[in-house]
Structure 1
Amino acid sequence: MSKSTFLSNSDEVSARSSLHQQMMDLLQLADINVDGNRPWDFQLKAPGVFERVSASGSLGLGESYMDGAWDAPQLDEFFNRLFRASLDQKVKPLGLVLHGLRNRLFNLQSLQRAWQVGEAHYDLGNDFYAAMLDRRMTYTCGYWRSATNLEEAQEAKLDLICQKLKLQPGMRLLDIGCGWGSLMGFAAEHYGVSCVGVTISREQVEWAKEYYHGLPLEFRLQDYRDTDESFDRIASVGMFEHVGYKNHRSFMQVAHRCLKDDGLFLLHTIGANMRRGGADPWIDRYIFPNGNLPSIGQIGDAADSLFVLEDLHNFGADYDKTLMAWHANFEAAWPRFSARLGERFYRMWRYYLLSCAGGFRARNLQLWQWVFSKEGLDGGYIRSGV
């Protein structure tokens, strides 16, 4: 071995050692130890993890977890501590800059691209989602104020929305991004309304048509931008995260043109504490392609001059409980799906549910319900059900 080769190898080992120390120091800021014995401590299983995180940020962290290169017995608490210490803001590799630039330059939620998330995420299989969710297949945050289990929390959330919309028998409701139709079914059964729902998931439409057969509900495989009818009420629950900030204004214009002058529009969405150029790179690649979490300011900009804000309600902490309930159901049902989906999917899905639970627990993520009217209600709006 030449002297220069020896020095090169020595420099490489020194650089690797320095990087490891930097990463360990960062984790210490969140009270996370490497190979410690607490449930939230970082257990290193293979070399190269810190290098991947340094090069690719959250994408490298998630992919190395999927590969089994590291673990944490209580992954949700690991992420709670990571987000509380803002460690996600302290590692800024070039890849994250390029990811943000891509989101700023291109409309990743265009009419042509909008169908990708339906095929990649929502069409995984209705049997899979039925095992994880409540009986109505409600894939959004539950309302846990008086609930003791997932079924109660989801029914309370559906009733909360119906009360906020002040639904009355005979009204016509549009559900933008209706999912498996839980809100529509609940509203028809308990409030006597008819509903139209649009979704970009073929699996959701097929399941909802069969499950709610006989109710005055119409499910359409359709992009929201193609909707142009008149409705007494509009709701959009857990879909705005797929709209993208370049299309926020168009979304609000669709809601405005479809809402009667005396109507109400409820928007239920996950939100970010700051304006961002795009979604987390790992979530974008593996869970929700082309997703984008809005900020309060971005939603306000989109609604400007179109709507009067009647009410804003944040119950983001309830998403922690919802995700943990989904995770418990997922773990219990996994033996039925392991042969079909495989170990890498298992680690990916577990990482998705528990990292998001940690994000909501840390209040890094929010859940908002906005209620809008076109002209402002005479005498003001009285919130119901809270």
Structure 2
Amino acid sequence: MSSKEIINKIFKDAGIEINGSNEWDIKINNDKIYNDILKKGKIAFGEGYINKLWDCNRIDILVSKILKHDIESHLSKKDILKISANIGMKNILNMQSINRAKRDVPFHYDIGNDLYENMLDKRLTYTCAYWDGAENLDQAQEKKMDLICRKLDLKPGERLLDIGCGWASFINYAAENYGVICDGLTLSQEQMKLGKKIANEKGLDVNIILQDYREYKVDDKYDKVVSIGMIEHVGPENYDEFFKCVCELIKDDGLFLLHTISSPISVNKTDPWINKYIFPNGVIPSISQLSLALEGKMNIEDIHNFGPDYDKTLLSWCENFEKNWHKISDKYSDNFYRMWRYYLLSCAGAFRNRDLNLIQISLTKNGRALPKKARSS
């Protein structure tokens, strides 16, 4: 079979028609895409969209259908060999050293606050929202933040550390609504500047520090620690050290909440397209990888999975991005628009197919009594 015939068969068996009329069907603009996919796999598929080799109205549905489809069962051994060398390859390297992390984080988070201000909620929360009872993105993000505050059982005057605080949306919320004293760690200059500005304008007891968690030391330990959407940048080789650092920063009777995307299988490398264009050297952890790193350090008190909420969150971000594109289009290229749209919608499709989950894990240090509160709904 030719490359065109192989790709057409894959799509057809997945319920996708080339140049069809369904909103998830692919419109091929250049047949070059067929050979590119067989040569370079997933990265060529994403790059093909950026470079206008193909188009699709509902990339989220398209990706969900592709992920749900068992490709190998519909191909001959010869055809499988043509694509197996290019798709799904993994390697084992420590790509998340301190120096590399300091380079990688600005790649994504320092591209411009204006982009995120026109895509996210009013508090600039760049992690999965909690849609239970929420009618819009702003409400869903505040429900997520309040859920975390209740799981941490925050009390006025307690000291809280946020590892990977972003624009300080959570610690600003916690300080404002629960009266806690907050510190946040980030590696992004842009996030630190804007987060400080927001906290100062509201007169909140919030301090944002530009430092890697591995270099941060304190004498007075924290009552509560949280990390929201940051461990995806840590990497499997560093999970053990990450949890050791948390244990050093938190009181013996403290609570730690970890909010992260999770994979149903253990991997050591991310999707190649995401790695190149969106999150360099990021890796999605599995529960088993996290559990292994936690051994001898912390107890898991609760695991809460609300992965489908990320599908809805990503669609809301994409809707805002498309709606507000005219406000920022003079600063970004058309290729950037297509790249960002593909990123948001392809990730939505992955969550819809349950290839990705979103979990919150409530944890305590070994030896402490069961907390009064670890799960809230």
- Counterpart in 2 of 1:226? 215
Are 1:203 and 2:190 matched, yes or no? yes
| Structure 1: distance between partners of 2:212 and 2:70 | 36
CA drift of 1:116 comes to 2.2
Aligned residues of 1:273 and 1:366 also touching (Cα < 8 A): yes
- Counterpart in 1 of 2:181? 194
Q: Which amino acid counterpart does residue 272 of structure 2 have in structure 1?
A: P
SS in 1 for 2:157: coil
- Counterpart in 2 of 1:246? 237
Aligned sequence identity (%): 43
CA drift of 1:331 comes to 0.3
- Counterpart in 1 of 2:139? 152
Aligned pairs, number: 366
Aligned residues of 1:176 and 1:198 also touching (Cα < 8 A): yes
SS in 1 for 2:209: strand
Q: 2:90 aligns with which of 79, 86, 100?
A: 100
Bigger shift: residues 78-87 or 269-278: 78-87
Are 1:143 and 2:134 matched, yes or no? no
Are 1:256 and 2:240 matched, yes or no? no
Are 1:343 and 2:334 matched, yes or no? yes
- Counterpart in 2 of 1:41? 25
Q: Quick one: structure 1 residues 116 and 88, their matched pair in 2 at CA, closer, same or farther if it must change by over 3 Å?
A: farther
SS in 2 for 1:112: helix
| Structure 1: distance between partners of 2:209 and 2:235 | 21
SS in 1 for 2:310: helix
Q: Which amino acid counterpart does residue 318 of structure 1 have in structure 2?
A: D
- Counterpart in 2 of 1:167? 154
Q: Quick one: structure 1 residues 234 and 88, their matched pair in 2 at CA, closer, same or farther if it must change by over 3 Å?
A: farther
- Counterpart in 2 of 1:110? 97
Aligned residues of 2:117 and 2:124 also touching (Cα < 8 A): yes
Q: Quick one: structure 1 residues 231 and 81, their matched pair in 2 at CA, closer, same or farther if it must change by over 3 Å?
A: same
SS in 1 for 2:6: helix
Q: Quick one: structure 1 residues 92 and 195, their matched pair in 2 at CA, closer, same or farther if it must change by over 3 Å?
A: farther
Give the gaps of 5 or more residues in structure 1. Answer: 1-14
Q: Which amino acid counterpart does residue 101 of structure 2 have in structure 1?
A: A
SS in 1 for 2:345: helix
Bigger shift: residues 109-118 or 84-93: 84-93
| Structure 2: distance between partners of 1:377 and 1:146 | 34
RMSD of aligned residue pairs (Cα, Å):
1.7
| Structure 2: distance between partners of 1:202 and 1:116 | 12
- Counterpart in 2 of 1:19? 3
Q: Quick one: structure 1 residues 59 and 171, their matched pair in 2 at CA, closer, same or farther if it must change by over 3 Å?
A: same
Aligned residues of 1:241 and 1:292 also touching (Cα < 8 A): yes
- Counterpart in 1 of 2:266? 275
1:177-215 CA distance string (max 9 Å, x none): 000001100100111101110011000000011111021
SS in 2 for 1:310: strand
1:218-253 CA distance string (max 9 Å, x none): 101111101222110000000000000010101010
SS in 1 for 2:24: coil
| Structure 1: distance between partners of 2:12 and 2:368 | 52
CA drift of 1:380 comes to 5.6
SS in 2 for 1:260: strand
- Counterpart in 1 of 2:13? 29
| Structure 2: distance between partners of 1:29 and 1:117 | 38
Q: Which amino acid counterpart does residue 189 of structure 2 have in structure 1?
A: R
Aligned residues of 2:301 and 2:362 also touching (Cα < 8 A): yes
- Counterpart in 2 of 1:62? 46
SS in 1 for 2:260: strand
SS in 2 for 1:311: strand
- Counterpart in 2 of 1:11? none
Q: Which amino acid counterpart does residue 65 of structure 2 have in structure 1?
A: R
Q: 1:331 aligns with which of 313, 322, 325?
A: 322
Aligned residues of 2:38 and 2:86 also touching (Cα < 8 A): no
| Structure 1: distance between partners of 2:180 and 2:370 | 25
SS in 1 for 2:332: helix
| Structure 1: distance between partners of 2:115 and 2:72 | 31
Aligned residues of 1:310 and 1:381 also touching (Cα < 8 A): no
Aligned residues of 1:82 and 1:88 also touching (Cα < 8 A): no
Are 1:313 and 2:304 matched, yes or no? yes
- Counterpart in 1 of 2:77? none
SS in 1 for 2:334: helix
